[in-house]
């Protein structure tokens, strides 16, 4: 007998596999086998579809073995259905034997990869990690908000330091020059006049030489307070340099600026200072005119101030372009 005849020899039917031709038995066996074949045919396609979509999972080999195992199981049930009419039990046995081999190999690799499967985070663990990340995110946001507040606070401090003179507490040279530049731009655009005062302490070097630089700083601080108390809230006073102070007077013509300068001069003259120090000041006044820049206006006020110095100090002089001292 040839091998092909042996494969299809119904005499090889094992003991106990004979079915009675009853419809209920046929329905149970054939129905069960048919549904199993359908399911075992769909499962391998589902596995490969899942792996194609989830390329991050590295279990391709094991999945292929498992798919083969399922396919062979389906084939054995299909052979069982055929054997109801034709006794191809040798073929069915060969399929079952192949299914057994694939099952053994699949089980081997399954247990070999078991530590990897065990280390895959569970839903509960992932939820816990997610909650921990949310807590960390909230803490990070709070830290960022705190840092932003500190940065804003520090930026404000630096702005105050940059715009405030450390000795006198009035505007720094940078800040007062910015105010002057703004006033010039306002004049050029809206023709709003303004004036400036250049105030200088007379014989200030003698104060430093006689009483020391700390006393000199106190004198400058008191002078700044005196000037600030005699000007409006819209006016700005700043330390221009050394013992010189620049006062910007928005919406103020030269005449009104001159009257204010005289009040400041008298107030400074009557100041009660530490160490029985008495001081006077000289003031140069200049009003804005068309075609004059901020630097040009300061130059005019400086020339008026030097005229007051040459005239004996403790005086207020308004710039006069007709004077030869310019």
Q: pLDDT truncated to tens, each residue of the chain (326 aa)? A: 555 565 555 554 444 455 556 677 777 777 777 887 787 777 777 777 777 777 766 666 777 777 777 777 777 777 777 777 766 667 777 777 777 777 777 777 777 777 776 777 778 888 999 999 999 999 999 999 999 999 888 888 877 777 899 999 999 999 999 999 999 999 999 999 999 999 999 999 999 999 999 999 999 999 999 999 999 999 999 999 999 999 999 999 999 999 999 999 999 999 989 888 999 999 999 999 999 999 999 999 999 999 999 999 999 999 987 764 44
Contact between 288 and 184 under an 8 Å Cβ cutoff? The reply is yes
Residues 296 and 208 in one domain: yes
In angstroms, what CA-CA distances link 35 with 46, 72, 103, 193?
Answer: 16, 15, 21, 100
Examine the residue annotation and report whether 131 is marked as an active-site residue of this protein.
Answer: no
- Domain-ending residue, one of 118, 145, 162: 118
Residues 180 and 113 in one domain: no
- Domain-ending residue, one of 86, 118, 150: 118
Asked whether residue 123 is assigned to any structural domain, the reply reads: no
Asked whether residue 130 is assigned to any structural domain, the reply reads: no
Asked whether residue 77 is assigned to any structural domain, the reply reads: yes
Active site residue: 92, 218, 222, 243, which one?
Answer: 243
pLDDT 10s digits, 82-139: 777 766 667 777 777 777 777 777 777 777 777 776 777 778 888 999 999 999 999 9
pLDDT at 87: 64
Contacts of 243 (CB under 8 A, 6+ apart): 200, 201, 204, 220, 223
Residues 114 and 42 in one domain: yes
Asked whether residue 142 is assigned to any structural domain, the reply reads: no
**Could you give phi then psi for residue 65, rounded to 5 degrees?**
-60, -45
Residues 107 and 190 in one domain: no
Asked whether residue 324 is assigned to any structural domain, the reply reads: no
Supply the range of the domain harboring residue 8.
3-118
In angstroms, what CA-CA distances link 265 with 111, 247, 297, 306?
Answer: 99, 13, 21, 15
Residues 35 and 106 in one domain: yes
The pTM (predicted TM-score) of the whole model is 0.58
Contacts of 193 (CB under 8 A, 6+ apart): 187, 251, 252, 253, 287, 288
Residues 202 and 77 in one domain: no
CATH number, residue 244: 3.30.70.270
- Domain-ending residue, one of 102, 118, 134: 118
Contacts of 105 (CB under 8 A, 6+ apart): 65
Q: What is the CA radius of gyration of the chain?
A: 51
Asked whether residue 125 is assigned to any structural domain, the reply reads: no
DSSP one-letter string for 185-205? HHHHHH---EEEEEEEETTHH
pLDDT at 69: 75
Domains: count for the chain = 2
Q: Classify the phi-psi angles of 248: left when phi > 0, otherwise alpha if psi is within -120 to 50, otherwise beta.
A: beta
Asked whether residue 52 is assigned to any structural domain, the reply reads: yes
CA distance 216 to 224: 12
pLDDT 10s digits, 29-59: 777 778 877 877 777 777 777 777 777 666 6
Asked whether residue 81 is assigned to any structural domain, the reply reads: yes
């Amino acid at each position: 007998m040839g091998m092909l005849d042996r494969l299809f020899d119904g005499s090889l039917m094992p003991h106990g596999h004979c079915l009675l031709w009853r419809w209920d038995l046929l329905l149970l066996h054939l129905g069960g086998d048919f549904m199993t074949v359908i399911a075992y045919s769909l499962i391998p396609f589902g596995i490969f579809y899942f792996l194609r979509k989830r390329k991050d999972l590295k279990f391709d080999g094991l999945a292929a073995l498992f798919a083969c195992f399922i396919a062979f199981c389906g084939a054995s049930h299909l052979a069982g259905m055929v054997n109801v009419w034709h006794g191809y039990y040798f073929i069915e046995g060969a399929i079952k034997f192949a299914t057994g081999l694939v099952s053994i190999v699949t089980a081997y690799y399954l247990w070999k990869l078991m530590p990897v499967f065990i280390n895959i985070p569970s839903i509960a663990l992932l939820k816990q990690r997610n909650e921990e990340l949310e807590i960390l995110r909230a803490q990070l946001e709070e830290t960022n908000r705190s840092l932003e507040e500190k940065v804003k606070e520090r930026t404000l401090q630096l702005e105050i330091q940059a715009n405030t003179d450390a000795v006198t507490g009035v505007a720094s040279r940078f800040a007062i020059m910015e105010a002057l530049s703004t006033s010039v731009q306002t004049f050029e655009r809206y023709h709003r006049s303004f004036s400036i005062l250049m105030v200088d302490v007379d014989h200030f070097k003698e104060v430093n030489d006689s009483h020391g630089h700390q006393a000199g700083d106190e004198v400058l601080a008191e002078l700044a307070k005196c000037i600030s108390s005699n000007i409006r809230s819209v006016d700005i006073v700043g330390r221009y340099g050394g013992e010189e102070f620049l006062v910007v007077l928005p919406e103020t013509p030269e005449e009104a600026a001159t009257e204010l300068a005289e009040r400041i001069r008298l107030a400074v003259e009557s100041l009660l200072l530490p160490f029985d120090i008495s001081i006077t000041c000289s003031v140069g006044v200049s009003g804005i005119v068309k075609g004059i820049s901020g630097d040009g206006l300061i130059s005019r006020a400086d020339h008026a101030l030097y005229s007051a110095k040459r005239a004996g100090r403790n005086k207020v002089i308004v710039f006069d372009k007709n004077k030869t001292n310019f």
